[in-house]
């Protein structure tokens, strides 16, 4: 691969950078000031390490621009999310996820941690008891990622309750395996199936606890005892003040303290959001070597609040970025929103230097997926995104400060594992992500409309069939 220019971390931007990549998509050599050779993938503009998206719900992409009537809250947004989830089939989900992942790679995300909990049929019946085989939803996501050319860490999620001491709601039935033991059994079977179908550098399986409100304490104990070592473990944590209040009322502890009491806060844990963690929570997370996945544009869109990114970093926590509900899918805007959030929170500028922002977007996100990070040095993943330094947004910018000015619209090329997957916003094999999204969302809308036709149950089947 040959780059017109490339950002080499602490060494700044160099010109005419050639990167040698092995068959596994790993960097084996880097030289600057050299010409391109025949057959090289050529990236124009300034190339940077590819971004690693550490938190995604692919089907949430169908909600963009639809949940703002009369303001709304996180909780009213959640009802719209449940309606979309109820309409998903493996076929519809594969189509929508393919489009969502194509949108991601076109702007520079080269890997994604998919926080996945739509496991079963809408009535809670597992797949594999009809036309679709076992793990139908999970394998649909894997196929979507392969088609889009993005590395996937599929975080299979345990989701058992509707809240502290509350049963599942109607829209949550398809998320649940009933018990943690049954979830662990399905997780083990899924890992075996995926590893037989896909190399780990392309698709791997991790684990997630949806939240402390969705997994009762006795089930947390089962997970602590039996979750296989080495798997990344993610959890939604302290996203809303109401979550903290409910947890304190039910257990006498914050969500972080509750997880810690069961031995679940450790170096493999990634706490997603952590918007409303206490000083003590921050110390516990950082002291255990946990990662914190911040999703600044989602947290702004849902009015969750501004997370304590600076305090987390100062305490020693590893930071990563995610797009979560995909109100925005752009690593450049997520990086900038992280810095802007700290400026708004403190009234001061300059909290995260460009080198730190790129490290969070790339190395932090990869660490949360237990993947090798991308970069211009041997042993790193050959995942890169290049931007035009002469666009209407970036013209006049220092090349080292493009993190403060570039957007996904400026991305000229994206490489994953040494393979060019997108150029100038167009996917090399799938075409324009916008076209894919329009078609996929329209099909999901049609399915959702059929769900609410008279004579049909919430599961999407006629009442006579039940």
E-assigned strand segments in 65-118: 109-116
Yes or no: say if 221 and 44 are a contact pair by the CB < 8 Å rule. Answer: no
**CA neighbours within 13 Å on the CB side: how many for 48?**
34
Read out DSSP for 301-361? HTT-----HHHHHHHT-EEEE--BT-S---HHHHHHHHHHHHHHHHS-S-SS-HHHHHHII
Q: Is 324 a catalytic residue?
A: yes
Yes or no: say if 455 and 462 are a contact pair by the CB < 8 Å rule. Answer: yes
Catalytic, out of 116, 120, 198, 273: 273
Q: Which of 22, 420, 408, 444 is nearest to 201 (CA)?
A: 22
Q: 241-268 b/e with 16+ CB inside 10 Å = b? A: eebbebbeebeebbbbbbbbebebbeeb
Q: CA-CA distance, 222 to 97, in Å (whole number)?
A: 31
Catalytic, out of 177, 246, 281, 324: 324
Yes or no: say if 70 and 371 are a contact pair by the CB < 8 Å rule. Answer: no
Q: Which of 208, 187, 170 is nearest to 56 (CA)?
A: 208
Which DSSP letter does residue 23 get? T
| First and final C-alpha spacing in the chain | 57
Yes or no: say if 14 and 33 are a contact pair by the CB < 8 Å rule. Answer: yes
3-class secondary-structure state, position 167: coil
Q: CA-CA distance, 187 to 117, in Å (whole number)?
A: 12
Phi (first) and psi of residue 264, to 5 degrees: -95, -5
Q: Known catalytic residues?
A: 273, 324
């Amino acid at each position: 691969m040959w780059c017109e220019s490339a950002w080499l971390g602490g060494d700044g931007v160099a010109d005419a950078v050639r990167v040698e990549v092995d068959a596994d998509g790993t960097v084996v050599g880097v030289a600057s000031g050299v010409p391109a050779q025949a057959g090289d993938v050529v990236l124009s503009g300034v190339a940077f390490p590819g971004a690693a998206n550490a938190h995604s719900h692919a089907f949430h992409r169908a909600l963009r621009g639809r949940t703002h009537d009369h303001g709304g809250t996180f909780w009213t947004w959640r009802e719209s999310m449940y309606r979309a989830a109820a309409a998903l089939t493996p076929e519809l989900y594969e189509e929508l996820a393919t489009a969502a992942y194509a949108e991601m790679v076109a702007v520079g995300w080269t890997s994604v941690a998919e926080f996945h909990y739509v496991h079963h049929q809408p009535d809670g019946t597992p797949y594999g008891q009809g036309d679709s085989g076992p793990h139908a939803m999970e394998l649909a996501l894997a196929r979507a990622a392969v088609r889009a050319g993005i590395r996937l860490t599929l975080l299979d999620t345990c989701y058992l309750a509707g809240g502290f001491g509350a049963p599942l709601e109607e829209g949550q039935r398809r998320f649940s395996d009933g018990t943690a033991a049954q979830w662990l059994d399905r997780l083990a079977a899924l890992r075996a199936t995926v590893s037989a179908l896909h190399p780990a550098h392309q698709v791997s399986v991790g684990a997630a606890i949806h939240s402390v409100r969705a997994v009762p304490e006795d089930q947390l104990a089962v997970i602590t005892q039996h979750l296989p070592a080495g798997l990344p473990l993610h959890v939604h944590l302290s996203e809303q003040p109401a979550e903290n209040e409910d947890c304190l009322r039910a257990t006498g502890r914050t969500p972080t303290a509750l997880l810690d009491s069961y031995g679940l806060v450790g170096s493999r844990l990634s706490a997603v959001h952590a918007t409303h963690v206490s000083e003590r929570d921050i110390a516990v997370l950082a002291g255990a070597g946990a990662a914190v996945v911040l999703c600044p544009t989602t947290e702004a869109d849902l009015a969750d609040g501004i997370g304590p990114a600076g305090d987390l970093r100062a305490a020693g926590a590893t930071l990563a970025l995610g797009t979560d509900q995909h109100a925005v899918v752009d690593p450049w805007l997520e990086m900038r929103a992280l810095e802007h959030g700290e400026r708004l929170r403190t009234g001061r500028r300059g909290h995260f230097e460009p080198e730190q922002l790129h490290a969070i977007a790339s190395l932090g996100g990869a660490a949360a997926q237990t993947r090798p990070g991308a970069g211009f040095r041997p042993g790193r993943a050959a995942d890169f995104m290049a931007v035009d330094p002469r666009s209407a947004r970036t013209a006049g910018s220092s090349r080292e400060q493009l993190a403060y000015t570039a957007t996904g619209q400026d991305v000229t090329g994206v490489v994953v594992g040494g393979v060019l997957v997108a150029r100038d916003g167009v996917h090399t094999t799938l075409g324009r992500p916008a076209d894919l999204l329009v078609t996929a969302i329209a099909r999901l809308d049609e399915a959702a409309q059929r769900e609410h036709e008279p004579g049909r149950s919430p599961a999407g089947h006629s009442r006579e069939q039940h």
